[in-house]
Structure 1
Amino acid sequence: MLKKIETSEQFAELVNNEKSFFLLKHSLTCPISQAAFNEYEKFSTENKVVDTYYLAVQDARPLSNEIAEKFQIKHESPQAILFANGEAKWNASHWKITNSSLENALKENA
């Protein structure tokens, strides 16, 4: 199940307490982002091994920027990031966010 986050505190709690999780930066106005969100949602429904979170860039721009800066990952939207043991292990953007790419990232990096 997808869970929405909006604050730095929520994100810090995930980084500190979750062994691994995915985060999707989602634009509410972009059709490419909606396609990626649909793939991410499918992955979330089918995969119970890892928790999945998202942020809406328009609602949480400071958090999106903070993540980009802290983990040295250029901001893109849509953008999926796999975090494991407090580090960003994998990321993809735009059309590269698919159910299969998320599954492969999890197998290779978690």
Structure 2
Amino acid sequence: MSFLNKIFSSDKIPQEPKREIPWKQLTSVSKLDEIIETSKTKPVAIFKHSTRCGISRMVLKQFERDYNAGEEVVDLYYLDLLSYRFVSDEVAARFQVWHQSPQLLIIQNGKCVNHASHSEISSIQF
């Protein structure tokens, strides 16, 4: 039994506690009006994610790992663009940003002031 205990022992390497990211779901075009209004008092970030894309998943995980701004600094919206493609299209049209995935847009005073896609997302500061 001691051999099995060594293999299945509970002496695991401690892991960092998982942080909760304060995502708000972006699931309707009408929510964009709220985002524009909120952006007049604080920045709003929209993360467009393709749930079927491995690169998008990797960038999302990296973003979540590195994210360190609080809810008082920025409102953070998550857009599943496969489920809500019509919302993604409207984001591109309203903010005049060519659609890509993954993509992060920063909205301030009703306008997109910064955006990035793929590995460039990690360079955006809040």
Band the TM-score falls in, shorter-chain normalisation: 0.7 to 0.9
The structure 1 residue matched to 2:97, chosen from 66, 70, 73, is: 73
Higher relative contact order (CA 8 A, sep 6+): 1
Moved over 3 A (4+): none
The residue correspondences of 1:7-18 to structure 2 (distance < 5 A) are 7-18=28-39
| Unmatched 5+ stretches in structure 1 | none
What amino acid sits opposite 2:35 in the alignment?
L
**Cα RMSD (Å):** 1.3
Normalised by the length of structure 2, the TM-score is: 0.74
The structure 2 residue matched to 1:34, chosen from 43, 57, 73, is: 57
> SS where residue 97 of structure 1 aligns?
helix
> SS where residue 52 of structure 2 aligns?
coil
Structure 1 residue 43 displacement after superposition: 4.3
What amino acid sits opposite 2:53 in the alignment?
C
The residue correspondences of 1:1-110 to structure 2 (distance < 5 A) are 1-18=22-39, 19-44=42-67, 46-48=68-70, 49-98=73-122, 101-103=123-125, 106=126
Normalised by the length of structure 1, the TM-score is: 0.84
Report the Cα distance in structure 1 between the residues aligned to 2:65 and 2:36, rounded to whole angstroms. Answer: 23
Report the Cα distance in structure 2 between the residues aligned to 1:22 and 1:43, rounded to whole angstroms. Answer: 15
Equivalent pairs: percent with the same residue? 33
Report the Cα distance in structure 2 between the residues aligned to 1:63 and 1:47, rounded to whole angstroms. Answer: 25
Report the Cα distance in structure 1 between the residues aligned to 2:59 and 2:75, rounded to whole angstroms. Answer: 17
Report the Cα distance in structure 1 between the residues aligned to 2:45 and 2:69, rounded to whole angstroms. Answer: 11
How many aligned residue pairs are there? 101
